[in-house]
Amino acid sequence: MNAPDRRTALRAGLAVLGTAAASAGLAACSDGKAARTEPAASQGSGARAAAPAVSPAPTSASAPGAASTSPSSRTQAEATAQAQAEARAQDLAGTQTQAFTEVDHAATGRAQVALTFHGDGDPQLAQSLLKEAEADDARLTVLAVGRWLGGNPEMARRVLDGGHELGNHTENHVDISRLSPSAAFAEIEACAARLRKLTGSPGVWFRPSQTQHANPMLVEQARRAGYRTVLSYDVDPLDYEDPSAAQITERLLAAVHPGAVVSMHLGHQHTVTALPAVLAGLKARGLAAVTTSELFS
């Protein structure tokens, strides 16, 4: 083979090697991308679930300004709008990677907040708080304790019929992060079963009990029970410590921001008393109280 032929062969060999290297590099980048958290339309707004999507709970409208009505008088359009908001929240949760499986705020840029309530305690106080919210056209999210629903099954429909949202806060409100995986799953699934029995749906959101954030074990058990995303929070006025209504209001309004998820509690009189001032303060800041599914939709 003369010199030009050898150079031609060498160039051909290098071209083949370059093509193979480029293909391998592309495959490596694809694998790496699958392992990274994808940028979300709303940072901190969802997680890809290994479990199948759950159906949204049947509820009334959650849009700000919707009138409080009975189930028979609610329009089909209102019910459809809420179902669509929950479906969009589920879809958004499904667009993220498994590396991001808990949310504590939304970054949609909309002037909305989610007031989320741990569902337990005196049902009469819960009724009073829901009425206060509905009088101001606010929509809440109640993360119910299963045993509370077992003792007060009428509260499930009461929450939904007021245009609010219902989710899972474990069966017995134990320190779930200290349980074994099987025991933690049993806590989540038992509450989900109650929700399905009472409303036809386990709801979209799960919040672990006695901890603000879920560890990886809890995230996995929530997925097994059908919950794509664990719902945390980034504003906490510590109302469960029973400070005064004025303190609850001051703490909450000092920390709230567009996209905030606020943690509050049913069953506390000062929380009920504080709610009108809280809602007035939100309105003064141009913020609407909406369901969690609407916040993340």
CB burial readout 260-283, b (16+ within 10 A) else e: bbbbbbbbbebbbbbbbbbbebbe
How do residues 116-135 score in pLDDT, each as one tens digit?
Answer: 999 999 999 999 999 999 99
pTM comes to 0.70
* Mean pLDDT of the residues in the chain: 78
Q: What is the mean pLDDT of residues 14-40?
A: 35
pLDDT for res 101: 87
Q: List all residues 6 or more positions away from 88 whose beta carbon is below 8 Å from its beta carbon.
A: 293, 296, 297
Length of the chain: 297
- CB of 89 closer than 8 Å to CB of 292: yes
Task: Return the closest-CA partner of residue 60 out of 201, 160, 200.
Answer: 160
pLDDT for res 12: 43
How do residues 249-276 score in pLDDT, each as one tens digit?
Answer: 999 999 999 999 999 999 999 999 999 9
For residues 73 and 77, what is the distance between their CA atoms, to the nearest angstrom? 12
* Cα separation values, 134 from 27, 82, 96, 279, 293, Å: 54, 16, 33, 11, 18
For residues 236 and 23, what is the distance between their CA atoms, to the nearest angstrom? 50
**pLDDT confidence bin for 88, thresholds 50/70/90:** low
Q: Which residues are registered as beta bridge partners of 117?
A: 142, 264
- CB of 258 closer than 8 Å to CB of 290: no
236: exposed, middle or buried (Cβ count in 10 Å: 0-12, 13-18, 19+): middle
